[in-house]
Amino acid sequence: MHISEINIYPIKSLKGISLDSALVEARGLQYDRRWMLTTPEGMFFTQREFPKMATITTEVTSDGLRVTSENDGSMKIPFDPDRERTQEVTIWQSVCRGEVYSDGVNAWFSHVLDTKCQLVYMPDDSRRSVNPRFDQGEDIVSFADGYPLMVLGEASLDDLNSRLETRLPMNRFRPNLVVSGSKAYAEDDWKRIRIGNAEFRSTKPCERCVTTTVEQTRGEFDGKEPLKTFASYRIAKDVMPDRYESLGVGPNAVLFGQNLIAEIPGGAITVGDKVEVLG
């Protein structure tokens, strides 16, 4: 088995970036979901409410980010926002400190999404812990939904597509790591894996939501698939009847992919790296 894709999503819910290699940090991959759009009060935005977010591209440059909207041009964003503007921001059940960008940056995003919003950055000293059920003491996460990384096997998507009338691309599922050479849904049972010099432990399968129904090129909801098909064979109580309760997963949750925490961060992983299952 080997890594066939590495993806980061610097601004949560915006279009991802495919990389040849990435540094593994405690919060996840470098630059991954360190930025997030929120309401002025600090409540997070995602494609669940604003599917158009999928169409805004992000580029990491030497001194910041560049975001581009097809109809609204581009804008440069410095790595460091105005550090005098900090705010408590909310993502699911977590509350942590974010640094708020200037009015000009926020106005651009507000125009593109046609709703008032602001861009915030998670500084290094802002600590957001993972779910206590899986926290071994110092495990932290970026603005990702709950865990630092998500891995998905190519064979798992192939199996899903064999059940659908219209095949779906990998970007519907927004994985950080894609594995080639594994069996379908093998990632369900991985407890620990090694990629290059980095080691990861599994937490829980990824619970899928309406974001998987967003056509990522158009930024529009696209019917009920794949959730309708998932409901016929990837429900937690059927997939892992003896484990879902201990993992804190609801019986009717749809599962696809595996959430990971980096146990040995600091190194780089590269497309083509071997994936070793350690347990």
Distance, CA of 257 to CA of 153 (rounded, Å) = 7
Q: CB of 10 within 8 A of CB of 186? A: no
pLDDT mean over 101-117: 97
Q: Which residue has the tokens 């998670």?
A: 122
Cα–Cα distances in angstroms (integers) from residue 61 to residues 92, 148, 197, in the given order: 30, 22, 26
- pTM of the predicted model as reported, rounded to 2 decimal places: 0.97
Distance, CA of 9 to CA of 165 (rounded, Å) = 29
Q: CB of 268 within 8 A of CB of 196? A: yes
Instruction: Quickly state the pLDDT bin for 102 (edges 50, 70, 90).
Output: very high
User: Looking at 76-90, 118-132, 189-203, which range is the least confident one?
Assistant: 76-90
What pLDDT digit, counting tens, does each position of 171-199 carry? 999 999 999 999 999 999 999 999 998 99
Domain boundaries, the chain: 33-121, 131-277
Q: Class of 131-277 per CATH?
A: mainly beta
As given in the structure block, the two tokens for residue 269 are 């992983």
Alpha helices in 178-241 (DSSP H): 227-230, 236-239
Amino acid (1-letter code) at residue 274: K
What pLDDT digit, counting tens, does each position of 51-68 carry? 999 999 999 999 999 999
Q: Is the per-residue pLDDT at 83 higher than 80?
A: no
SS3 156: helix
